[in-house]
C-alpha cells in the first residue's frame, strides 16, 4: 500500500510537471522546433575567418548588424536542402541590417564549394572558410548544419541545430524584430 501511495504521488507530480512545463513553453514565441533561444545573449569574441579569396575577415567587423552564420559542408544533404532558403532570406528586402555568412567547415576547396553553390543556383550568399576552426572552438560546434544568430550588439541570441526552412513565415516574422531593434 505504501508503494501505491508513492506511485500515485509520483504520477500526480509528473502530471502537474508536464502541464506546467508545456504551459511555459507555449508562452514563448519559438519560431522553429529546432531553435534554442538564449535567455541571456552570450557575448562573442572577435573571430578570424576567411572569405572565398583567402582574405582574413573579423567577425567584430559586423557589429551593428544582425548576423546569421550558417555552418555547412558540401557532403551534407540537409545543408544542400536548406541553402536555397537561406539564400532567399539574404535577398529579402524587408531586412535592412542583415548579414548572412555561409561558412564551409571543410578544408578550403574553392572549386568544390563554388560548384556546390552553382548547382543550387545560389545568387547572393558568399562562401567563407574557417580552416583554423576558430568558429568550432568559440561556438563549440558539433555538426552541420548549424546556424548561429548574433544580435547587433555582437551577442549570440539563438542557435538552430540541424536543417531548417529559412522562409518559414513564423521564423521570418520573429527574426525581423531583431533586424529592427
Same domain, 22 and 39: no
Percent of the chain scoring above 70 in pLDDT: 84
The grid coordinates of residue 65 equal 548588424
Which grid coordinates belong to 90? 539574404
Query: Does residue 48 share a domain with residue 15?
Result: no
Same domain, 66 and 144: yes
Reported as a pLDDT band with limits 50, 70 and 90, residue 140 is very high
Of the candidates 144, 80, 68, the one whose C-alpha atom is nearest the C-alpha of residue 112 is: 80
Mean pLDDT, rounded, for 141-163: 97
Co-location of 117 and 144 in the same domain: yes
pTM of the model: 0.83
For the record, the C-alpha cell of 58 comes out as 573579423
Q: How many CB atoms lie within 10 A of CB 26?
A: 9
Co-location of 63 and 87 in the same domain:
yes
Q: For position 143, which CATH number holds?
A: 3.40.30.10
Same-domain pairing of 41 and 82:
yes
CA distances from 111 to 27, 78, 115 (A): 47, 21, 6
Q: Confidence band (pLDDT; 50, 70, 90) for 151?
A: very high
Looking at residue 153, what is its pLDDT? 96
Residue 151 has a CB neighbour count (10 Å cut-off) of 19
Look at residue 3 in the predicted model and tell me its pLDDT.
58
Pair (72, 156) in one structural domain: yes
Same domain, 68 and 94: yes
Host domain of residue 163: 32-180
Q: Are residues 84 and 141 in the same domain?
A: yes
Residue 158 backbone phi and psi in degrees, to 5? -160, 160
C-alpha 12/C-alpha 94 separation (Å) is 48
Cell of 42: 552570450
The tally of domains found in the chain comes to 2
Segment 21-51, tens digit of pLDDT: 333 343 346 788 999 999 999 999 999 999 9
Please say if the pLDDT value at position 17 is more than 50: no
Verify that 66 and 56 share a domain, yes or no: yes
CA separation for the pair 25, 30 (Å, rounded) = 8
What mean pLDDT, rounded, does the chain reach? 88
One domain for residues 37 and 15: no
pLDDT of residue 176 exceeding 90:
yes
| In a shared domain, residues 63 and 3 | no
Q: What is the pLDDT of residue 100?
A: 98
Confidence of residue 4 (pLDDT cuts 50, 70, 90): low
Amino acid at each position: 500500500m505504501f508503494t501505491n501511495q508513492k506511485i500515485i504521488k509520483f504520477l500526480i507530480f509528473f502530471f502537474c510537471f508536464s502541464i506546467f512545463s508545456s504551459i511555459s513553453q507555449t508562452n514563448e514565441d519559438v519560431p522553429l522546433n529546432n531553435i534554442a533561444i538564449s535567455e541571456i545573449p552570450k557575448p562573442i569574441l572577435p573571430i578570424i575567418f576567411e572569405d572565398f579569396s583567402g582574405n582574413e575577415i573579423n567577425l567584430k567587423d559586423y557589429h551593428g548588424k544582425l548576423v546569421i552564420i550558417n555552418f555547412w559542408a558540401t557532403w551534407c544533404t540537409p545543408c544542400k536542402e536548406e541553402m536555397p532558403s537561406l539564400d532567399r532570406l539574404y535577398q529579402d528586402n524587408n531586412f535592412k541590417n542583415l548579414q548572412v555568412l555561409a561558412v564551409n567547415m571543410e578544408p578550403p576547396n574553392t572549386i568544390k564549394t563554388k560548384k556546390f553553390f552553382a548547382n543550387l543556383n545560389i545568387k547572393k550568399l558568399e562562401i567563407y572558410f574557417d580552416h583554423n576552426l576558430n568558429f568550432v572552438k568559440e561556438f563549440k560546434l558539433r555538426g552541420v548544419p548549424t546556424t548561429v544568430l548574433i544580435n547587433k550588439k555582437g551577442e549570440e541570441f539563438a542557435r538552430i541545430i540541424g536543417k531548417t526552412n529559412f522562409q518559414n513565415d513564423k521564423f521570418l516574422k520573429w527574426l525581423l524584430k531583431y533586424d529592427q531593434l
